[in-house]
Structure 1
């Protein structure tokens, strides 16, 4: 449970006890898809509670704000740093320096705005019957993308949040994480889950290969960017799956 609570506290603002054991931190990625499922459940409950009280535009805006709040903007921050670093078109060392800079550049702001705008527009457009599907599938896909990125690609830094996670993502822990993620896809969308899984893998592979080619590996910021982009792609696919209102 310490490992699970560590994952929950890291990826969300949901109160949870955090273990001081570094091993618990390194083992926590296997629970990321489960955390995504919990986030999805919170979004669905919120939408059920207040969605019918407001127009669709306000409903979509509230869900988008809640999405950012419950995740603490963690992955959004990684997305902005990645956009600044890769957008500068510099060498590997300079790219990493830019990504590490706490200041946000124009490319980061524009990218974050674009992602939030896409999320909002999908949430406004989704048919009511498909809303809960998207609210569950997207956060699960984003956290499954984190697990796949950690497992499939090298971690470039000698220190950072990803240190030790790859080594501790054993085959059994990977199967557990995949089981939750894939299970959530198929339980919510049936055979369409194959498309969601394929899309998640494609996003992870494209971003991972690009980062490995440019930086020889991934960083925590790139993990966050992968999660955000995966969420957007899955939301767009859910729009095709469920139709528009």
Structure 2
């Protein structure tokens, strides 16, 4: 289990972790710990916001946090977001969309999608900073990776030899339930009922996105997994702002 966690950490982040002796089995098991790694990412972002806001104005702090967010994940999920945007934005047949997504080059739709995502995330980060709600940065990566493992479990992965192949094997129902309980416990403990509202709405909106992608492609690929994380993170940031403004 320790090797599986280190595998998840080395794959999903740039945090140094010994990975030379990790096997393919450790990689497949690592998906169990994706929400835990998401929590760690969120804590780093929240801590960074506390430190940076003491030195810089909110606009500069928001920019640095966005850069930190991209850096700590190595831009891995952003790449998937752009590839999916290129595929879906082509408005072609399912087979051609999948071929476009495999192309290493980035098209116009991918660039546009990346710009819009970064603007949206940056504005949301700034608003949460201005509302003195920096602790909410913890939950966006956490929720996103819970949505991801549920998507991996619920929808088929049909791309032979792809990055996500084999991840479903260790995502049993008890593992999913344990991760769900883990996320709900942290959310309720830190945010009470407001946190539960944020969690439920985030999951609903993210699930709608996953269903749309699956309807278009008939499967989920590694690029889809990255896009799910980016979408879910951005959605939860927006919803956090709306919920705290309303309540």
TM over 0.5: yes
Q: Which deviates more, 82-91 or 192-201?
A: 192-201
Q: Which residue of 1 aligns with 2:25?
A: 23
Gaps of 5+ in 2: none
Displacement of 1:128 in angstroms is 4.5
CA distance in 2, matches of 1:68, 1:183: 27
What's the secondary structure of 2:188's corresponding residue?
Answer: helix
Q: Is the 8 A contact 2:202 2:239 kept in 1?
A: no
Match 2:94 to one of 79, 92, 96: 92
Q: What residue is the counterpart of 2:68 in the other structure?
A: 66
Q: Deviations over 1:17-75 (max 9, x none)?
A: 22431111111111111101111111122122221211110010010010000011111
Determine the C-alpha separation between the residues in 1 that align with 2:201 and 2:43: 22
The answer to whether the Cα contact below 8 Å between 2:45 and 2:69 also exists between their aligned partners in 1 is yes
**TM-score normalized by structure 1?**
0.93
Query: Which of 149, 162, 165 pairs up with 2:164?
Result: 162
- Cross-structure match for 1:129: 132
Q: Alpha carbons of 1:188 and 1:240: their partners in 2 closer, same or farther (altered >3 Å)? A: farther
For residues 165-184 of structure 1, the C-alpha deviation after alignment (integer angstroms, 9 at most, x for no partner) is 11220122212222232223
| 1:164 Cα offset (Å) | 1.2
Aligned partner of 1:9 in structure 2 is 10
Q: Which of residues 178, 181, 195 is equivalent to 2:180?
A: 178
With 141-150 and 191-200 compared, the bigger mean Cα shift is at 191-200
| CA-to-aligned-CA distance 1:144-181 (integer Å, 9 cap, x gap) | 12111101111121221211111220122212222232
**Does 220-229 or 123-132 show the bigger shift?**
123-132
Q: Quick check: 178-187 or 50-59, which moved more? A: 178-187
- Conserved 8 A contact 2:157-2:219: yes
Q: Which runs of 5+ in 1 are unaligned?
A: none
C-alpha displacement at 1:4, in angstroms?
0.4
Aligned match for 1:82, one of 81, 84, 87? 84
Distance, in Å, in 1 between the alignment partners of 2:116 and 2:208 is 19
Contact 1:122 1:239 in 2 (8 A): yes
What count of residue pairs does the alignment treat as equivalent? 243
2:50–2:134 CA contact under 8 A, matched in 1: no
**Which deviates the most, 123-132 or 5-14?**
123-132
Residue 131 of structure 1 and its aligned partner are, at CA, apart by 1.5
When the two chains are superposed, the root-mean-square deviation of aligned CA atoms in Å is 1.6
**In the TM superposition, what are the counterparts of 1:194-205 in structure 2 within 5 Å?**
194-205=196-207
Cα deviations across residues 189-234 of structure 1 (Å, max 9, x unaligned)? 2112222322333234223322332222100101111111111110
Deviates more, 1:174-183 or 1:36-45: 174-183
CA distance in 2, matches of 1:173, 1:85: 32
